[in-house]
A = this chain, B = another copy of it.
Amino acid sequence: MKAFNLSRRDFIKTTSLVAAGLPFMGALPAYAQTPGKKLGFALAGLGNLSTHQLAPALQKTQFCRLTGIVTGHPQKAAAWKTQYNIPDKNIYNYDNMEQMADNPDIDVVYVVTPNSLHAEHTIKAARAGKHVLSEKPMEVSVEKCQQMIDECKKAGKQLAIGYRLHFEPNNLECARLVREKVLGRTKIIDAAFGFPMGDPTQWRLKKDLAGGGCLMDVGIYSLQATRYLTGEEPAEVSGFTTVTDPVKFSQVEESITWQAKFPSGIIARCSASYNASGLNNFKVSTDRGWFTLDPAFSYHGIQGVRSDGQQINFTDIDQFAAEMDDFAQCILANRPTRVPGEEGLRDVKIMMAIYESARTGKAVSLA
């Protein structure tokens, strides 16, 4: 987990610079600091995340600019064209996005479509010669994740997954606390994310588009936390799924619990839900203390406390801006991203194992 192995000094420098809205000057190789060079991003999929988070975040970035869109809705295209001054030639739909190959305005395609379309849209973008940032979960099967990796590699383009918390100062600090054993040696991790799902017609409740339920969408945050906190890969997992509202949750799980055992002996217990409140936190218990983030996974307001009474309360940043700026810098500097396709594939593999365990009643080894 390279992202979480910055030194304390680098970490503070980097995050305070991000917080101040400045580029990562200290961390960047000189050749990447081309003045004024910004990569053109096209957002593929203009739903809530693109509308309310990504487009506004792009306005705050140092190395990115919103230059294009991909959408199947002409009325959305018209609205975005006006709001963000996007020329007609940079507006695509899912049937013609291969034509981006001839468009130098677009360097990166950010795939924000439903989970089971990520591979298709990533592959189209890569074949058009674009770098790709795909939202999480990467895809709905290990095979499709591998295709995404293979196609981007073949095209010589970078592939990153939208794991915004790899750029979030409080989560980074918690990974440091574990790694440097500041409050002792980690023994148990408890992590949860969920919320009561509103609109029952949305694609997240449809198996063919989402690939699964709350685990794929929000449980992945807890899974990620257990992995970036420990710096280890789970050796064994087991899970229980449940549905109490079989009308709303006719295709995917409503809630899930799972446990994971790590090679060092750390164990984790996690839950996720589309029908429960108060789940947005993790707690790390060590042999002589503990620390927690609550909320842990929100867009803003992440904070926590430590057993020694100290607060964990680094400055709030725009996580999406940080994520996109980092990817742009990786591309400009031709260095690997800390959140590559391989990282997304690992999560999908583990989630499939958790589902298998819930289905079969047997713990699944990942060794």
Q: Cβ of A269 < 8 Å from any Cβ of B?
A: yes
Q: Is A242 positioned at the interface, with any CB of B under 8 Å from its CB? A: yes
B-side contacts of A185, CB under 8 Å: 244
The minimal Cβ–Cβ distance linking A157 to chain B, given in whole angstroms, is: 40
Number of interface residues of A (CB under 8 A): 49
- For residue A194, CB closer than 8 A to chain B, the reply is yes
Whether the Cβ atoms of A240 and B261 lie closer than 8 Å is: yes
Task: Check A276–B287 contact: CB distance below 8 A.
Answer: yes
Q: Which of B254, B267, B287, B307 contacts A242 (CB 8 A)?
A: B267
Task: Decide if A285 touches B194 in the complex (CB within 8 Å).
Answer: yes
CA distance A255 to B239 in the complex (A): 18
Cα A136 to Cα B254 with chains together (Å) = 35
Complex: A273 Cα to B279 Cα, angstroms: 22
Chain B residue at smallest Cβ distance from A246: B265
Q: A190-B190, A257-B269, A363-B361 are in contact. Are A184 and B277 (CB under 8 A)?
A: yes
- Whether A276 touches B187, Cβ cut-off 8 Å, given contacts A196-B288, A255-B267, is yes
Whether A286 lies near B276 (C-beta < 8 A) is yes
CB distance from A8 to the nearest CB of B (A): 23
Contact of A270 among B261, B269, B307 (CB under 8 A): B269
Verify A257–B267 contact, CB threshold 8 A: yes
A271 with B190, Cβ < 8 A, contacts A276-B285, A277-B285, A285-B277 known: yes
Residue A243 interfacial (CB < 8 Å)? yes
Indicate if the CB atoms of A265 and B242 lie closer than 8 Å: yes
Query: Which chain B residues lie closer than 8 Å to A192 at the CB level?
Result: 188, 190, 285
A261 near B242: Cβ-Cβ < 8 Å: yes
A194: B residues at CB distance < 8 A: 188, 285
Given known A-B contacts A190-B271, A271-B267, A278-B307, A196 and B287 have beta carbons under 8 A apart: yes
Does A258 interact with chain B (Cβ within 8 Å)? yes
Chain B positions within 8 Å of A240 at CB level: 236, 238, 259-261, 267, 363
- Asked if A257 contacts B188 (CB within 8 A), the reply is yes
If the complex has contacts A190-B190, A240-B236, A261-B242, are A277 and B287 also in contact, measured as CB distance less than 8 A?
A: yes
A268 on interface, CB distance cutoff 8 Å: yes
Chain B residue numbers with a CB within 8 Å of A254 are: 187, 265
Residue A156 lies at the interface, judged by CB distance under 8 Å to chain B: no
List chain B residues, Cβ under 8 A from A292.
278
Query: Could you write out 29 A-B pairs with CB less than 8 Å apart?
Result: A187-B244, A187-B254, A187-B273, A188-B192, A188-B194, A188-B255, A188-B257, A188-B276, A190-B271, A236-B361, A238-B238, A238-B240, A238-B361, A240-B260, A240-B363, A242-B265, A242-B266, A244-B265, A244-B266, A257-B269, A258-B259, A267-B271, A269-B271, A277-B286, A277-B287, A277-B288, A277-B289, A278-B289, A362-B362
The 6 nearest A-B residue pairs measured at CB:
A278-B290, A244-B265, A276-B285, A187-B276, A361-B363, A257-B269
